[in-house]
């Protein structure tokens, strides 16, 4: 087997299925001559990118880019996100942690409020409402008197207009706990793509609005979260993820601003959209926006979202300690590697790929490049920065410096999340065009090209509502993803494989031995 340099392309959000509910499979409807030719000519299969294949609790759990790139980059399956938190809650370990005792003890001793900020749904990608319920219930048992929930509305990992289902659920749950000595209620909120949950420092004004809304209690006031959702829907026609920020008030006063002496928990377990708010709470030297007088509070995340940055300093559940990643193996073998994407997925080919590690394993052998994303709605420019990412990949190929090159095209996922099917079709076609350019460069310079995806999204953009009607689906799909090896001389094994089998396959192609803890490679 030739030990050619390997180029791995990750087409984010491009699942593989022949199903086409309501004509919503934009991968199927897109004009993709490059992918079609590759699938016709070269060894290919589909691999699992969700559920237990990526360390999530069950095969009903959709995959996501974070766990997907963890699995792609480490060749193993680690317990992830929801599963980690589930285990910690079920065992009681979370509630015995020093952090939880510090947070609740602070509120008891100071008669202060315990705040929970996070995505209010059971999507199991960023959060789960069941975790929030467990935290609130235990807080009451610890003697906390006042709880406030700052509810970010989903509509992305769950149906697009399902917010009231979760608002009513948590309101009913809290009413069942409330009594003369305990008061829990929703204090503020807004759509996840409008307030608080930015990532990769692409749109700090989102986080600044979250600070103003959750911390200061400033913004348009409503009597309840249900009223806010209903009024905003009527006024804007927006789906849940795009609803404006709101503040719950009584007699003109917000019911839950965050003030000195309070404790705050960000109950999301996924890290990418939790880092910036954590910076705003944790960092003394902070200039991304004007926080005004910063309240002196105890702040914690559900997880530590970045181990190298130690952010946040306090957290409730230990993240998976991922070892023996592909990058480590290649560094040990002295093989230079290159990673690139645009801002929206840059962290996925670096931080998540390297096992939730911000720092490189080797400054000499690892090169990372970021192409800045546009700050605009992705359906307005569905080609995003695919051409610029390709330019960087082709430059890396032509340099002859690298034994392994990886890139991510975010289009199929980021545009798919908007629910705009026409734009998503263009997004998939844009990636196909760029894939041809990379393939041509690989052929010209003797590189082996492998193509896959991290999860589905653009392949399933419609779903049936309870009444049988079709509605937009902005969440990831449960479909497998393609895996293509662009070399007619190679062959793939039969069997059931997942994303964690990709790294071993890369090492097979390089003629390198995989760590004993890895899964098997897919090459015969």
**Which residues carry out catalysis?**
65
What residues pair up with 182 in beta bridges, in sequence order?
179
The three-state DSSP-derived secondary structure of 431-473 is: HHHHHHHHHHHHHHHCCEEEEECCCECCCCCEEECCCCCEEEC
CA distance linking residue 366 with residue 2, whole number of Å: 23
CB within 8 Å of 363: residues ≥ 6 apart: none
CA distance linking residue 69 with residue 71, whole number of Å: 5
Provide DSSP, 323-351.
Answer: -S-HHHHHHHTT--EEEEEEHHHHHIIII
Chain-centre distance of CA 346, in angstroms?
12
User: How does 305-342 read in b/e, with b if 16+ C-beta sit within 10 Å?
Assistant: bbbebebbebbbbebbebebbbbbbbbeeebbbbbbbb
What is the token pair recorded at 436? 């041809």
CA distance linking residue 434 with residue 203, whole number of Å: 26
Residues in the chain: 524
**How would you class 483 by CB atoms within 10 Å of its CB: exposed for 0-12, middle for 13-18, buried for 19 or more?**
buried
Are 180 and 143 contacting, i.e. CB atoms less than 8 angstroms apart? Answer: no
CA distance linking residue 27 with residue 23, whole number of Å: 10
**How would you class 349 by CB atoms within 10 Å of its CB: exposed for 0-12, middle for 13-18, buried for 19 or more?**
buried
User: How does 377-390 read in b/e, with b if 16+ C-beta sit within 10 Å?
Assistant: ebbebbbbbbebbb
CB within 8 Å of 329: residues ≥ 6 apart: 507, 512, 514, 515
DSSP 3-state of 282? helix
CA distance linking residue 204 with residue 202, whole number of Å: 6
């Amino acid at each position: 087997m030739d030990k050619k340099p390997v180029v791995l392309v990750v087409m984010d959000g491009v699942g593989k299925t022949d199903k086409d509910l309501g004509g919503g499979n934009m991968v199927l409807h897109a004009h993709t001559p490059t992918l079609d030719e590759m699938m016709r000519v070269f060894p290919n299969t589909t691999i699992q990118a969700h559920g237990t294949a990526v360390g999530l609790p069950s095969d009903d759990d959709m995959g996501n880019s974070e766990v997907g790139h963890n699995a792609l980059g480490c060749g193993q399956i680690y317990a992830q996100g929801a599963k980690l938190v589930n285990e910690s809650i079920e065992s009681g370990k979370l509630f015995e942690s020093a952090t939880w005792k510090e947070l609740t003890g602070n509120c008891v001793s100071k008669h202060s409020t315990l705040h929970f900020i996070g995505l209010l749904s059971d999507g199991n990608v960023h959060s789960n409402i069941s975790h929030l319920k467990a935290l609130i219930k235990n807080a009451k048992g610890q003697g906390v008197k006042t709880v406030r929930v700052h509810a970010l509305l989903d509509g992305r990992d769950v149906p697009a207009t399902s917010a009231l289902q979760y608002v009513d659920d948590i309101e009913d749950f809290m009413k069942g706990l409330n009594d003369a000595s305990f008061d829990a209620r929703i204090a503020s909120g807004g759509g996840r793509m409008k307030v608080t949950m930015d990532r990769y420092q692409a749109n700090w004004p989102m986080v600044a609005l979250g600070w103003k809304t959750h911390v200061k209690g400033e913004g348009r006031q409503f009597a309840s979260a249900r009223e806010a959702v209903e009024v905003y829907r009527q006024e804007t026609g927006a789906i849940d993820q795009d609803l404006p920020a709101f503040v719950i008030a009584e007699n003109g006063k917000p019911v839950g601003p965050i003030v000195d002496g309070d404790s705050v928990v960000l109950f999301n377990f996924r890290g990418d959209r939790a880092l910036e708010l954590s910076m705003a709470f944790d960092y003394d030297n902070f200039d991304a926006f004007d926080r005004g007088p910063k309240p002196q509070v105890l702040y914690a995340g559900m997880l530590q979202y970045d181990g190298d940055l130690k952010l946040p300093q306090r957290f409730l559940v230990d993240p998976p300690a991922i070892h023996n990643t592909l990058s480590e193996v290649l560094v040990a073998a002295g093989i230079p590697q290159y990673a690139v994407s645009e801002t929206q997925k840059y962290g996925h080919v670096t931080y998540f790929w390297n096992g939730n590690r911000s720092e490189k394993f080797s400054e000499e052998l690892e090169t990372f490049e970021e192409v800045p994303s546009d700050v605009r709605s992705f359906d307005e420019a569905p080609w995003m920065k695919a051409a610029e990412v390709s330019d960087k990949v082709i430059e890396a190929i032509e340099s002859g410096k690298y034994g392994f090159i990886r890139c991510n095209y975010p289009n199929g996922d980021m545009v798919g999340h908007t629910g705009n099917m026409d734009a998503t079709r263009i997004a998939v076609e844009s990636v196909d065009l760029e894939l041809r350019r990379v393939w041509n460069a690989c052929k010209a310079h003797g590189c082996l090209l492998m193509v896959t995806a991290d999860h589905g999204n653009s392949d399933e953009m419609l779903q049936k509502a309870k009444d049988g009607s079709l509605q937009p689906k902005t969440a990831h799909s449960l479909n497998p993803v393609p895996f293509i090896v662009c070399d007619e001389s190679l062959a793939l094994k039969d069997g059931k494989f997942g994303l964690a089998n990709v790294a071993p396959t890369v090492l097979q192609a390089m003629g390198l031995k995989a760590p004993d803890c890895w899964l098997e490679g897919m090459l015969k």
